[in-house]
Structure 1
């Protein structure tokens, strides 16, 4: 329905009259039906009747009162047409059902930047069109007011009290406090994603320190269970980290990968601190597990969000880990985050006959927002990249301990889609190639290097890992649209 408005103003100079007419024309062009004396008040019409009918008419949705020095003087002194109009408007303003009908529009300020609002409008919220620099923003505010299209509409009233208010286990973590406002803030200020992320990561690392513990026994049945209990207890904090990733790794936010790299570079400070005191190696194994788990979730979430650039940077950039004892910085690949956690593996194998303790713990303690297939694929993909680009260092490997939990009948859709040229162009960076020909050569060389070699198997199991060339139709890469 077309909105009809009336503009009340004091004529003043020719330039000011032209400014008012131009404002009215622009509103008309933007679908607002404007009643203005310059084109609606005909010769011979009663001026006062015209004013009164416009102010009191139910057809008039808004009355814009343009406030400059001239209008304020005449309104306060009840002088001329403006004075008469003021006498008509004033009682209407104080009728509750009519209050929103009258909008003061500031069009001029004095030398002290004070507004020229007449007394009868001095306490009312106004729209400021006096500043040319911010005119467009203010005009949009005015137009949205008239058209009932606020930039921040009032949300619907929820029917359910938030769980963090009603649940007995309230998440009062400092990280959760940041998360409650993070997404809303990024929608308004996406350019601040890195500063918000730095703040979250710093707070997360401080909170993670609270999970350092010292085992009460050297018996594996005791300290193995204590490590698992510790990992389970940090789940609330972990969920905050994953929610942070789900928000900030969306491609539109352009998260700086250095923030994520910097986070994982802190691993040594937790897993091998300089001041070990009377701690045993297994007292820090919870942190080894945590950083490895969080890296898998990071890859999985970046892939879900189709942020292939972040995946590429995480898999091929160097991480500068500081040696806790020498203080030297060493540049290493992402495989440095991988670790065989003896205590977890031995405890779960001994107590529950689990072939892969790490895999079992990841899958049974999975975040509800992430599918099992996503975390397994992230694990397998890290293995393939480490295997595709091997170094001379035996430690530069990644064994996908979750793979044993993959459903045998499921293929990895990601690899199947590489026959699409469009899809290949999007993801080729995470294989560190520029063209399909380059990728095909790398895969064929990889295939030849595996001829005659024994497959990698899980300990005490017939299950083995596939090779990357077996997952990809090499000859048909990027052959379809």
Structure 2
């Protein structure tokens, strides 16, 4: 520790700081402790620089130290010459840490000239001492508070081999306008989704080959950048819409467009139905991401609107209108053909794929399971009178491992419970219980809801007991 014997109080401060460092596992060399009678004080000073066991030098800066250092007077002046030569001559400049204990009349930190440009640690008063001491310990132990994240891979959309390219510029313009509340946001959203739809249209797999499921898997893989950008887009829409259903109308238009992509384009007279499984997969995935974002923002009215929406598309020249149930797929190309052809013996390849596509910075798989369970629950309690056959099957719950989903655990709280019931389209817990149990009784308490030997326990996962009271 390099300091000036400015006053008894300052000496006490320095010794107290040294003692605190020792108490925190830092071996400190201090003149009062280590310089004995008969020893060469200049050699002691020089050892601060030359001794390989000394990794840090704390320069305690007050006005007396500054004056002596700038004038090169006394012991401080000698130390300054040694330290400044080391600082300007060596690469490792982190060895010398300025400790500010005083400010001048202009509220500028008191530092000697040779350390003016250095990043310092402030121990000048009781208000900052605690944080400053923590900062000092982190510097000594090389445990910085802010750590550089690991370097990731280059974005997939930069790969020229990809058939799709995400509309980056359009999305950034939309994001900025949305965040700033500009009136141009709606027009920018329309332009963005138009480009997005163009890229989606490039994913069709019209190949008459024995292993066309490979092409479907590859196409789904190429769509990953679009999937991740859609996740950002729908999360942004849910966050800024403030549960205004109309604000999400273009999201629903995009989902409706995906339904249209599942039908053979004009002029295609020969095709396999499974070629369009890439769009069935993406429609399922995008619907889950949409509902997951709305659940995250507790946008109950908008969720009710999504589940009440009539999606209109054309199939072989005929106009069709469907509910959200149209987005729940069973992909034979994957779960049957591919599973058997490659001998994978997986319960559900499509579920494995949607699980493996989750990005660390986006919607979590747990949130997607909650969306899956919500849509299933909605399909149960809104089952038409006299029917027990059109359901949303929550296949992602294959990964649940017997736990209840966090959002539905919170259904014990009044606000969450009331919101969920509203989004499920029922008036109250009594109506929910009556509707759910009626379907459950007709289906032997969902005893046949299985994937291979795994039972999909919708009742437990969605905390039906709590929603019913």
TM-score bracket relative to the smaller structure = 0.5 to 0.7
* Aligned partners of 2:426 and 2:432 also within 8 Å: yes
| Secondary structure, aligned partner of 2:313 | strand
Change in CA separation of 1:395 and 1:236 when aligned onto 2, cut-off 3 Å: farther
Distance 1:365 1:252, change over 3 A: closer
Match of 2:401 among 404, 407, 424: 407
> Unaligned stretches of 5+ in structure 1?
1-157
SS of the residue 1:322 aligns to: strand
217, 222, 225: which one pairs with 1:233?
Answer: 222
Partner of 2:415: 422
Q: 1:194 to 1:449 in 2, by over 3 A?
A: farther
Q: Is the 8 A contact 2:301 2:422 kept in 1?
A: yes
- Matched residues in 2 for 1:432 and 1:277: separation? 42
| Aligned-partner Cα distance in 2 for 1:425–1:374 | 19
Q: Hey, what's the Cα distance between the residues in 1 that align with 2:387 and 2:322?
A: 10
Partner SS for 1:321: strand
Q: Aligned ranges for residues 198-277 of structure 1 at < 5 Å?
A: 198-217=190-209, 219=210, 222-252=211-241, 254=244, 256-275=247-266, 276-277=268-269
Per the normalisation by structure 2, the TM-score is 0.59
Q: Which runs of 5+ in 2 are unaligned?
A: 1-147
| Correspondences of 1:89-238 after superposition (within 5 Å) | 169=159, 173=165, 175-189=167-181, 191-217=183-209, 219=210, 222-238=211-227
Please, which of 339, 342, 348 is the counterpart of residue 349 of structure 1? 339
CA distance in 1, matches of 2:198, 2:262: 15
Deviation (angstroms), 1:272? 0.9
CA displacement at 1:280 relative to structure 2: 2.3
Separation (CA, whole Å) in 1 of partners of 2:349 and 2:166: 31
Counterparts of 2:154 and 2:172 in 1: how far apart (Å)?
11
Q: Could you tell me which residue of structure 2 aligns to residue 397 of structure 1?
A: 391
Please say if residues 296 and 375 of structure 1, whose CA atoms lie closer than 8 Å, have aligned partners that are also in contact.
yes
User: Take 1:364 and 1:470, find their aligned partners in 2: how far apart are those partners?
Assistant: 21
Partner of 1:338: 328
**Residue 312 of structure 1, CA deviation:** 1.5
Structure 2 counterpart of 1:462, from 443, 453, 461: 453
Contact 1:272/1:324 (8 A) holds in 2? yes
Cα pair distance change 1:422/1:190, threshold 3 Å: farther
The CA distance in 1 between the partners of 2:356 and 2:270, in whole Å, is 32
| Contact map agreement 2:166 2:226 (CA 8 A) in 1 | no
Question: How far off is 1:366 after superposition?
Answer: 2.1
Q: In the aligned structure 2, how far is the partner of 1:343 from the partner of 1:258?
A: 32
TM-score of the superposed pair, with normalisation by structure 1: 0.58
Question: Which whole-Å CA distance do the structure 2 matches of 1:168 and 1:206 have between them?
Answer: 18
What do residues 222-277 of structure 1 show as CA deviations (whole Å, max 9, x unaligned)?
21111101110111122111111111111545453332222222234311124224
Q: 1:274 to 1:305 in 2, by over 3 A?
A: same
Q: Which residue of 2 is the match for residue 388 of structure 1?
A: 381
Say if 2:277 and 2:333, in contact at 8 Å, map to a contact too: yes
SS of 1:402 mapped into structure 2: helix
Tell me the CA shift for residue 183 of structure 1. 2.2
SS of the residue aligned with 1:354? coil
Structure 2 residue aligned with 1:359: 351
How many residue pairs are counted as aligned between the two chains? 313
How far 1:160 sits from its partner (Å)?
A: 12
- Which stretch has the larger CA shift, 286-295 or 181-190? 181-190
Deviations 1:358-401 (A, max 9, x none): 11111122233121211122122222221222247787322222
- Is the 1:336–1:395 Cα contact (8 Å) retained in structure 2? no
**Correspondent of 2:306 among 311, 314, 318:** 314
Q: After alignment, is 246-255 or 177-186 more displaced?
A: 246-255
Offset of 1:190 from its aligned partner?
Answer: 5.1
The answer to whether 1:375 aligns with 2:379 is no
Q: Deviations over 1:99-138 (max 9, x none)?
A: xxxxxxxxxxxxxxxxxxxxxxxxxxxxxxxxxxxxxxxx
**Aligned match of 1:138:** none
